[in-house]
C-alpha cells in the first residue's frame, strides 16, 4: 500500500538519495548538496512530503510556501521525484495531488503555486497540466565565469560609483531586514523578469542566510540601493562549479547597481572555484543583449515555468 505523509528528519537520507538518482545535474535539474536539505528541513520541516511503500520511501515532494510576488503569497513546488523503479505507476500524480491539498489546507493565504521543469519532461508536464497549471517559457542562462567578469567590467567601465557602500554577510542581512519593505519597489535583474521577488524575512534569516552567509550583498548610499543573493554550491554536469544569482534587485533608475553587486561578488565566486554563473530570464533573450551581453557569450536553456492560481 502507498502511504503519503509528512517526512521526518530520518527520511532525509532517502530523500537525498532519490533526488540524486533523479536530478542528474543536467541543464536545469541540479540537485543540491545534503547540507541544503538539512537546512531546508530545519527551517521548514512541515513542507517535505514522502510517499512510502511498505515503509520504504519511494518518492517525495518539497514545497516552499515562503515567497511573495507583489504582496501575494506564493508556494514553490521545489522538487518532486519518484524512485526510478516505481515510476509510471501513478505515484508522482498522487504526490502532486496530496501536495496541492496540503498547501490549500495548511497555507490558505497562498494564492499561487509555481514550479520549474525541463522542457522535455513529459510525465511532470502531464501531471501539472492535469492539476490546472499553465506553462510559460523561461530561460536558464549560463556564462563562463571569465566572460561574466568581462561583461560586468565592460558595463561598469567608467560608471563605477565610488560613493556606494557595499556590505556583505551579516551586515548585508541586517541592512536588508531593516529595509525589507522597500524591496518590492525595486527592479529585478533582468528587468522585472525573475519571479521570486521576495522570500519572507523569516526565510531570509533562517534559510538562505544560514545556507550561505557570504552570498548576501547589499549596496547602499543613505538608503538601500540594491540587493543580491548568490549561491555557489551548485554543480553542473557540463559546466562544473556553478554560481546561481538567485536575487538581484536595484532601485529604479539605478540599474548600474546590479553590476556593482555582481562585481562585488566576483572575488567570492572565484575563491569558491566557480566555473560558470547562471540566472533565470523570461520569454525573450533580447533583454540580455540590451544589457550589453553578446549572443555568442552565453548559453540559454529553455525551461517551463508553471503556475496555478489557488485563489485571488
Q: Which of 1, 54, 120, 122 binds ligand COA (CB under 6 A)?
A: 122
What's the closest the beta carbon of residue 30 comes to ligand COA, in angstroms? 11
**Which residues within the stretch 28-67 sit at the binding site for ligand COA (CB under 6 A)?**
29
Instruction: Please identify which residue in 43, 64, 117, 278 interacts with ligand COA, judged by CB under 6 A.
Output: 117
Among the listed residues 4, 15, 80, 264, the single contact to ligand COA using CB under 6 A: 80
Q: Which residues on adjacent β-strands are paired with residue 302?
A: 139
Does 127 contact ligand COA by CB under 6 A?
yes
Question: Is 157 exposed, middle or buried, given 0-12, 13-18 or 19+ CB atoms closer than 10 A?
Answer: exposed
> Minimum Å distance from CB 196 to ligand COA?
16
Span near ligand COA by CB under 6 A; candidates 90-98, 147-155, 200-208, 260-268: 90-98
* Of 284, 29, 247, nearest in space to 139 by CA: 284
C-beta neighbour count of 30 within 10 angstroms? 18
Q: Does 120 bind ligand COA (CB under 6 A)?
A: no
Residue 161 in grid coordinates: 560609483
Stretch that binds ligand COA, among 62-70, 124-132, 143-151, 188-196 (CB under 6 A): 124-132
Please give the radius of gyration of the chain, using alpha carbons only, rounded to the nearest integer. 19
- Give the C-alpha separation, 150 to 135, whole Å: 34
Extract the C-alpha cell encoding 210: 544560514
| Helix residue ranges per DSSP H, 238-290 | 256-271, 286-290
Smaller CB distance to ligand COA: residue 112 or 256? 112
Give min distance, CB of 214 to ligand COA, in A. Answer: 28
Nine cell digits for residue 126: 502531464
Residue (32 or 215) nearer to ligand COA, CB: 32
User: Cell triple for residue 230?
Assistant: 548568490
93 binds ligand COA (CB under 6 A): yes
CB of 95 to ligand COA, least distance (A): 7
255, 277 in Cβ contact below 8 A?
no
Q: Which residues bind ligand COA (CB under 6 A)?
A: 22, 29, 79-82, 87-93, 117, 121-124, 126-127
Amino acid at each position: 500500500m502507498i502511504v503519503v505523509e509528512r517526512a521526518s528528519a530520518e527520511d532525509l537520507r532517502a530523500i537525498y538519495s532519490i533526488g540524486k538518482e533523479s536530478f542528474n545535474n543536467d541543464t536545469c535539474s541540479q540537485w543540491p548538496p545534503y547540507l541544503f536539505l538539512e537546512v531546508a528541513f530545519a527551517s521548514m520541516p512541515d513542507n517535505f512530503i514522502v510517499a512510502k511503500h511498505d515503509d520504504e520511501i519511494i518518492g517525495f515532494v518539497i514545497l516552499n510556501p515562503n515567497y511573495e510576488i507583489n504582496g501575494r503569497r506564493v508556494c514553490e513546488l521545489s522538487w518532486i521525484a519518484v524512485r526510478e523503479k516505481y515510476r509510471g505507476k501513478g505515484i508522482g500524480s498522487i504526490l502532486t495531488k496530496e501536495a496541492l491539498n496540503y498547501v490549500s489546507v495548511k497555507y490558505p493565504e497562498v494564492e499561487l503555486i509555481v514550479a520549474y521543469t525541463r522542457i522535455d519532461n513529459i510525465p511532470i508536464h502531464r501531471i501539472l497540466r492535469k492539476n490546472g497549471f499553465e506553462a510559460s517559457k523561461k530561460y536558464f542562462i549560463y556564462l563562463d565565469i571569465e566572460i561574466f567578469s568581462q561583461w560586468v567590467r565592460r558595463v561598469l567601465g567608467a560608471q563605477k560609483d565610488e560613493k556606494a557602500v557595499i556590505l556583505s554577510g551579516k551586515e548585508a542581512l541586517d541592512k536588508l531586514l531593516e529595509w525589507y519593505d522597500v524591496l518590492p519597489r525595486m527592479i529585478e535583474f533582468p528587468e522585472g523578469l525573475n519571479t521570486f521577488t521576495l522570500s519572507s524575512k523569516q526565510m531570509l534569516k533562517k534559510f538562505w542566510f544560514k545556507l550561505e552567509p557570504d552570498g548576501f550583498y547589499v549596496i547602499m548610499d543613505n538608503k538601500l540601493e540594491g540587493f543580491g543573493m548568490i549561491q555557489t554550491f551548485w554543480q553542473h554536469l557540463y559546466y562544473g562549479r556553478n554560481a546561481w544569482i538567485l536575487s538581484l534587485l536595484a532601485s529604479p533608475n539605478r540599474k548600474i547597481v546590479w553590476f556593482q553587486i555582481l562585481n562585488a561578488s566576483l572575488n567570492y565566486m572565484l575563491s569558491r572555484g566557480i566555473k560558470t554563473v547562471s540566472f533565470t530570464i523570461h520569454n525573450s533573450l533580447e533583454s540580455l543583449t540590451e544589457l550589453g551581453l553578446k549572443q555568442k557569450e552565453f548559453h540559454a536553456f529553455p525551461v517551463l515555468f508553471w503556475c496555478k492560481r489557488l485563489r485571488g
